[in-house]
Amino acid sequence: MAATKSERVLVQEWRDVLALHARTMCELDRELHRFGLGASDFEVLDVLAELSDGDAADAGDCSSRVQELACRVHLSQSALSRLIARLEKDGLVTRGMCAEDRRGVRVALTDQGRARHAEVKPLQRAVLSRMLPGATD
């Protein structure tokens, strides 16, 4: 049975989204490489920086559980754990036990991580503005 025109359009739109994502991730990786980061590395730093700038900072908690980060950065927990280990080795984040659940692990930016994020954020935002249709400056 042949796909209807609307199905073909839907599938093509999906493929266009995937292609845009792939091109944008490659461009981010290329641009961030000189700072020792990949697109996913920066995304973790960015989410943690948002926490330190938002309501959580008012409560004195600028960290996130690994499980919560995994949902926000769209990585499996095992992939995210490896990424966090690299960021920790580079001095950009710290890991510690979760006080409310000793099975959990919390991650927080270090001062060095906060500085690296601030240094790279304008570049990442410029890439997004360049790559994403309808993005504004």
pLDDT digits (tens, 9 = 90+) for 15-39: 999 999 999 999 999 999 999 999 9
Domain range 7-131, CATH architecture: Orthogonal Bundle (1.10)
Give 111's pLDDT tier (boundaries 50, 70, 90).
very high
Q: Which two tokens stand for residue 9?
A: 């359009």
Map tokens 């960021």 to a residue.
87
pTM (predicted TM-score): 0.83
Map out the domains of the chain as residue ranges: 7-131
Q: Cα–Cα–Cα angle for 93, 98, 100, nearest 5°?
A: 150
pLDDT, one tens digit per residue, over 31-83 is 999 999 999 999 999 999 998 776 444 444 557 878 888 889 989 888 999 99
Q: Out of 25-34, 71-80, 93-102, 107-116, which region has the weakest mean confidence (pLDDT)?
A: 93-102
